[in-house]
Structure formats: C-alpha cells, structure tokens
Chains A and B, each alone.
Chain A
Amino acid sequence: MQNNIERCKALLGTFVDVSLSGDVTDKELIELSNNVFDEIERIQKLMSFHEPLSELSQLNKKMLYQVNHEFLVSDDLLNVLKLAMQLFEQSKGHYDITVATKLVLDGELPDHLKVEELSMKEASLGNSQNVFVHKNYIINSLPVCFDLGGIAKGYAVDCAIKKIPEHIEFIINAGGDMAVSNWTNHQVALKFGINQQALKVVRMLESSVASSANYYHGSRSHVINPLKIDTSNQGTAHRFSGSVSVFARNTMLADALTKIVILMKPKMAKPILEYFNAKAIVINRFGFKRMLNV
C-alpha cells in the first residue's frame, strides 16, 4: 500500500521540503527522510560561507592570504568548483563565484575572513580567471574567495536524491531548487512575485528546476554582475523583477544557470542552455512569460 511522508526543515539558509512516497512502512519513510536531511546537512557543513569551520571557509581563508599554492579539496567541493569554472568560461565571466568579496563588502555575507581589511591593503583581488583546477587541487594566482550560494543548494539536492532507493517517489525542494522523480507526471508553480497569486503553473520540463528572483529582497538585488565590479565596488547589483526558472538534468546545473539567464542577454544565454540541454522560463512582474530553448 502506498504510504507517504512530508517533512520540512530549516537547512541551507532556507526551507528544505522533502516528500517521499512508496510501498513502505512509516518507520522506513522516517529513516529515508532522515537520510535525505543528513545528506543535505553534510553538504551544508562543507559548503557554507557563513560557517567559519566549513571546508569552503577554510579554503577561502587560505586562498585570500596565500597565492600560487595547491589546495587539496574534497570530491564534493571539486564537483561544484569544476562546474562553476566551466560556467565562468562559457558565460564569458558573467557567472563568477568570486563575487563573494563584493557580497562581503556589501554586507550580504559575513566578514569572518576579514575581506574588508584585505581589500584595503591589496591592490587587486582576483576573480575566477585567476583560479585553476588540477586534479583535486585548486590553485589561485591572486587572492580570491568563493561564494557557492548560487550553486551549492542545487548540489545538495542532487546528493540527497542519491540516498533515495528507486522504488520511492520523491520531491525535494530546497528554497525553490527542486528535483522530482517521474518528472513527466509533475507540474510546478513558478512564483514570480510576492503576491500570493503571482504563480504560473507549468509542467516540469526536466527532472530538476531552480528559480531565482528578487521579490523577497525588497528593492535590493542579491545578484551581482561580476563584469561590472569597479574599484569602488559600487553599482554592480543587477536589478531585475519577476523571476527566472531553469529546468535541467540536475539541480546544481539548474541552480547555476538561473544566474546566467538573469545576467546575460537572451541571445547569449541561449547557446549555453542548448549546450546543457536546459530550458528556461523568464516571467516578468506582470506574469508574461518568455521561453528560452523550450
């Protein structure tokens, strides 16, 4: 007999919603959902910028104060950094996880790495152009630090679904970054404004979807255009209204590609979506949608 459980926890800085169903007992569903949350928590502990003891923070600390060294990273961190570097290349610098320094200086991220102090002393901080990945090592030629806020949530969802056996159906939604089993049978409501009726219901176009929007941030934008960062670090937040949703074969990719669709002109973003066989739906604040590569 079909049984189900739906749980929600505060993780990854947002709300993670886990829904599992299958021909199993309540006890098994609780155990499976515990495994899913444990896996998400494991990734959070590795990749949190806010947590000074996370692997990411430890790496950031080294990269900000030492250059031309080889820093060994875990397989998980490597998976995320490899995609981030690939997207940096393909987007011609529009997607850049080194915007962390700007986010710290803007007060959007905590300054436990003393970035502000360093930015006063250093003539220039680097970007992803100054970062090289070799086997399990990261090498940087200028001081940099990474923020994985626009990619790690998706990766956490991808890791979590590997913990779910094939006979269990699932929906995992980490603050809008979502993966579902049997995706062809599902619909999703894309939220494009703060109003409760600002929802566009569409069918799932792939197994994962991620959305980015600014409506919870008021007039401020949390999306930084890395190509517009000047020496005074002024005026680089990219203002946009409505929302951008990307459907892709995995959630990490969907998560990261939303930023590319926001920051690049549709003509430039489309070949990247095509390369990854991903699809985007851009909805403006009036509810009009535009499809990219659909």
Chain B
Amino acid sequence: MLRRNFLKGLFFTAASYAIPIKAAYAKSYLTIEQAKQIIWPNIHLADAAITLTEDQAELIEDLSDIRVRHLTIKAWKTSDNGWFIVDQVIGKHENIDIAVGINNRGEVTGIEVLTYRETYGDQIMHPKWRAQFHGKNSSEHLKLDKQIKNISGATLSCRHVTDGINRLTHTWTQVLSKL
C-alpha cells in the first residue's frame, strides 16, 4: 500500500514537472469601480491617464530604486488634486494589480489588492506569459473548486507591493504633483 502510494506520488510529481502549466491560480477582489468607492467614497474621479517620458521614468527608477515597467499609468483625478491609480506589481511568485489613493499632499490614503495571480519558477519573466493578463478578467484563469475559498501555505512576503507604493509616491512627487 505504502509502495503504491509512493509510486503514485512519484508519478504525479514527475507529471507536474513534465506537463507545461499555462494557467495561473488567480483571485479577484474588488473591481476598479468598487476600489474607487472605498478609497475615494462619494467623490467624482475624472479619467486622467498619464504617459511618462523616458526621462521621467529613469528619474523615478533612480529615486525609488524600483524598475518602471510601464510608461502609461492608469490614473483618475479628484477635483481636489487627489489621485486614484491602478498599477501592476510583479514579484518572484506573484503578479498583482493594486489600486492606490494619493491625496494632494502626496500621502497614500488607501491601498487595495484588486487581483492576485500566483506564479512559480521563471514564468513571470516571460513577456508572453505576462501579456496574457492584460485587459482580461481574472475569471478567465484557473480557479480552485468553488468550495475551496482559501489556501493555507507558507507566508508570502508583500515586499513587492511596498516597493510598488514607493515607486508611485516618487511618481507623484516628480510628475503627478506638477500636473
């Protein structure tokens, strides 16, 4: 019995390495509209998408010591010069969409994780793999059985989110505050 279980385990372990897995475990939380209501409740937000120049991106990279992956920033603005930004944070094991509120003094007023996608190996380094998420709803990705709402496992560090916020506060200082 033990031997059979061992062989079964061995087979599935080998199979999991041999068969390429393209789907990623993903979990959606708030939509952009819901996050707007939580971070800036009852405040009108006007579309204010930004495109950074190469120089600006370089300066932000130097100041924050974090790579700027996209020159375009999905942003909305309040009448009081507050900002609502939707950004993507890429870590070693995760690819996360976050929404961030920044007030007119440059203070972060709220951070919400919108979508969490778990990755493994060097999958995340491939532009093709990352591209599959652009403009897609996470419901298109592999999900666990509906009854299994949660995973208990090793604690994953949120350092990349902290780094992403740091990059965005420098983006505010260098660019958004001057608009």
Enumerate chain A interface residues (CB-CB to B < 8 A).
6-11, 13-15, 17, 19, 30, 153, 171, 173, 175-178, 180, 186-192, 194-199, 201, 209-217, 243, 245, 286-288
Q: Can you spell out 9 A-B residue pairs with CB atoms less than 8 angstroms apart? A: A7-B112, A8-B29, A8-B116, A190-B151, A197-B16, A197-B21, A212-B154, A212-B155, A214-B154
Q: How far is the CB of A252 from chain B (nearest CB, A)?
A: 15
Query: Given the complex of chains A and B, what is the CA–CA distance between A217 and B153 in angstroms?
Result: 13
When chains A and B are docked, how far (Å) is the Cα of A9 from the Cα of B24? 20
Q: Mark B125-169, 1 if CB is under 8 A from A, else 0.
A: 000000000000000001011011111111111110110000000
- Which B-chain residue is minimally distant from A286 (CB atoms)? B9
Task: Give the bracket for the number of chain B residues in contact with chain A.
Answer: 35 or more
CB <8 Å contact, B10 and A216: no
* Chain A nearest CB, measured from B12 CB (Å): 7
Chain A positions within 8 Å of B25 at CB level: 196
Give the Cβ gap from B84 to chain A, nearest Cβ, in Å: 16
- Which A residue sits closest to B120, measured CB to CB? A194
- Given known contacts A194-B120, A196-B25, A196-B120, is B162 in contact with A10 (CB within 8 Å)? yes
* With known contacts A8-B29, A216-B93, A287-B12, A13–B154 Cβ distance under 8 A: no
Do residues B157 and A196 form an inter-chain contact, with CB atoms below 8 A? Answer: no
Report A-chain residues with C-beta under 8 Å of the C-beta of B144.
Answer: 189, 199
Residue of A nearest to B154 (CB): A213
List residues of B (20-44) whose CB comes within 8 Å of A's CBs.
Answer: 21, 24-25, 27-30, 37-38
Known: A9-B111, A10-B111. A188 touches B154 (CB 8 A): no
Q: B150 touches which one: A10, A171, A197 (CB < 8 A)?
A: A171
* A184-B13 Cα distance, complex, nearest whole Å: 31
Is B60 in the interface zone, CB < 8 Å from A?
no
Contact A287 B155 (CB under 8 A): no
Contact B9 A14 (CB under 8 A): no
Question: Which of the residues A13, A30, A243 comes within 8 Å of B153, measured between beta carbons?
Answer: A243
Q: How far is the CA of A173 from the CA of B30 in the complex (A)?
A: 16
Residues of A within 8 A of B30 (CB): 6-7
Report which of A214, A243, A245, A286 forms a contact with B13, defined as CB distance below 8 A. A286
**Once the chains bind, are A171 and B149 in contact (CB under 8 Å)?**
yes
